[in-house]
Structure 1
């Protein structure tokens, strides 16, 4: 029975591939309060989580804001661009 479960999990990992991360980058244009507002409005993050991620963007130059499959992260990148934020995606190393 264990062999079957392991085979199913391995097959699922192969089919889905590695997850992708949405990276939001620091920029000289957008105010920190605006970036926090975008994270709360678009992702529905709590004020605390949005501010923590915003501070990471500000102090470290970037933050991984979300992760998932490539198509979903591409939609998030487009949405962030629509809000005027600099964003990219990168594959998560496991």
Structure 2
């Protein structure tokens, strides 16, 4: 006697994921209101995974060139990081990568 096997629905993995769109850059702008060591500490605390070495490199680039890309990520995360930096008194913005 044959048993009936239930038919399993196939689910698309891509259908469950939100489309992220283009990456956005979080940009740090040079200012004269914050000391260099303070900028490094704020970057380290505000951006997950940011090392002191990378934070110092970003700070020096912003100091020399007037701006530096802190991180590239999807727009909502870029907005969060921009808000964190602005909240700590740094000058930051976001732009499409």
Corresponding residue for residue 42 of structure 1: 46
Structure label with greater radius of gyration: 2
Query: What TM-score, normalized by structure 1, do the two folds share?
Result: 0.77
Q: Runs of 5+ in structure 1 lacking a partner?
A: 1-14
Mapped to 1, the partners of 2:50 and 2:20 lie a distance apart of: 26
Instruction: Give the one of 14, 30, 33 matched to 1:26.
Output: 30
Query: Helix, strand or coil for the counterpart of 1:33?
Result: helix
Residue 16 (structure 1) shift: 2.5
1:90 aligns with 2:95: yes
Matches within 5 A, 1:41-80: 41-43=45-47, 44-80=49-85
Q: Runs of 5+ in structure 2 lacking a partner?
A: 1-18
Aligned length in residues: 79
